[in-house]
Amino acid sequence: MLSDYEPDFFFEEDKMGMTITTGSVVLEKDGSNLIGISIGGGAPYCPCLYIVQIFDNTPAAKEGTLQSGDEITGVDNISVKGKTKSEVAKMIQAAQSSVTIRYNKLHAEPAQGKTLDLILKKVKHRLVENMSSSTADALGLSRAILCNDSLLKRLEDLKRCEGMYRGLVEHTRRLLRSYYDLSQTYKDFGNIFSTIGVRELQPRASEVFTKFGEIHRQMERYGVQMIKQLKPVLADLGTFLHKAIPDTRMTIGRYADAKFEYLSYCLKVKEMDDEEQSYHSLQEPSYRIETGNYEYRLVLRCRQDARARFAALRSDVQVKIELLDNKHVQDVVQQLQRLLSHLTTFYDQCHQLLDGQRFFPIEVDLSKGAFTYESVGGLLQSQDEEEPEEYNVAEEAKETSNVVNKSGESQPLISMD
């Protein structure tokens, strides 16, 4: 222990290349007679008394001068050199409404504390994040965790929302494709019936086929118009899926990186505390502690900075997820209303085209070669050579449906319904 030796025996402080500046700050106490700091170091093991942590929403945190790792050199113009942390805490509590803290501010670069050990701890936390506690314990992986992390549930909700939107976009795309195919079918029907109408000899049948074909062509135009109106709906859903959600996921990625870095520093502090306790229990000196514990104070400063970044990104993620939820609720309702509105308009237009129309039954004349097909022309010709009698379609149909006039002429009329 340091108190067992002469002052000349003490090691010189090892500042590890960091610089310090001296200053003082006056802090007003809160209702609990505290200023909101945690103190570490001090006699009998460490020559320095330093700030371990600044608590949130306390006088020290609101004032903003003191930081983790800063050395406390005096309280109300009284030097604290050689005192224990308990004695310093009592000196602060003994002050009335305010207390003056003299300090040596530690100027450290965050890169100095980001060692290979910290990087490996971040990797370990990423691996452990997706493991259960029992699996991590079985593998012997020590880790720091956030208790009651409400953001985890919000992230699960975001994943479900993304899956729902992905299915909705895919279903809408297939629906539009099906309506496009249906419109092309209407177009083909219209072309076929219009061609039949042009070639039909009877005026009534020609008019019916032509009108029926034009109606199908008009239905095809209505279908294409409806598809053009629904494309913005698909684009808006795609914007939410491919831009809003990935942007939030990118923010979540930065938040996760800051979270793992903060947890790594917490784990590093815990390991160094355990190491210090082991030296104390064995009553063995530690070079790191006896030279001012600057390495530990550097990690404390890095942990504070990492916690500040983590808290800021956490707030940013919560705001973005909240905005995303609100947009999701409003956007889904609006887009589905637009989808149903355009589909209803399309069906109403098609219904108006066909409503009140009576196309059938119609009568058409079938010529002698109506059922003669080019593909079987050779077969029919060979049958004609074997049967010299002329095959008359009108005479064949006479037994069933032909109407014969008084002069004996047959009128082959077929009713199509």
Q: Tell me the per-residue pLDDT of 175-202, one tens digit each, with 9 for 90 and over.
A: 999 999 999 999 999 999 899 888 877 7
**Are 216 and 184 spatial neighbours (Cβ–Cβ below 8 Å)?**
no
Count CA within 13 A, CB hemisphere, residue 64. Answer: 2
Q: What is the pLDDT of residue 385?
A: 52
Same fold, 19-107 and 151-354: no
C-alpha distance across the termini of the chain, in Å: 111
Of residues 61, 63, 51, 55, the one with CA closest to residue 89? 51
The string of pLDDT tens digits covering residues 206-234 is 888 899 899 999 999 999 999 999 999 88
Compute the distance between CA of residue 81 and CA of residue 102 in angstroms, rounded to an integer. Answer: 12
**Are 301 and 68 spatial neighbours (Cβ–Cβ below 8 Å)?**
yes
Over the chain (417 residues), the average pLDDT of each successive run of 10 is 48 80 91 90 88 91 91 91 90 89 89 81 75 68 62 78 88 92 93 88 84 92 93 87 85 85 89 89 85 90 91 86 83 88 92 82 64 54 50 44 42 43
What does DSSP say about strands 49-54 and 37-41: parallel, antiparallel, or unpaired? Answer: antiparallel
Q: What is the pLDDT of residue 158?
A: 82
Taken as a whole, the chain contains a residue count of 417
Neighbours of 336 (CB within 10 A): 14
Instruction: Tokens for 172, please give them.
Output: 């809408």
Q: What is the pLDDT of residue 365?
A: 65
Compute the distance between CA of residue 60 and CA of residue 250 in angstroms, rounded to an integer. Answer: 34
Instruction: Tokens for 388, please give them.
Output: 């010299």
Domain residue spans of the chain = 19-107, 151-354, 366-416
Taken in order 233, 341, 176, 158, the sign of the CA dihedral is: positive
Q: What is the pLDDT of residue 287?
A: 87
Q: What is the pLDDT of residue 66?
A: 92
Q: What is the pLDDT of residue 3?
A: 47
* CATH number of this structure's domain 151-354, picked from the four choices 3.40.50.2300, 3.60.150.10, 1.10.10.10, 1.20.1270.60: 1.20.1270.60
* CATH number of this structure's domain 19-107, picked from the four choices 1.10.150.120, 1.10.40.30, 1.10.8.100, 2.30.42.10: 2.30.42.10
Q: What is the pLDDT of residue 23?
A: 92
The C-alpha angle 11, 16, 21, rounded to 5 degrees, equals 90
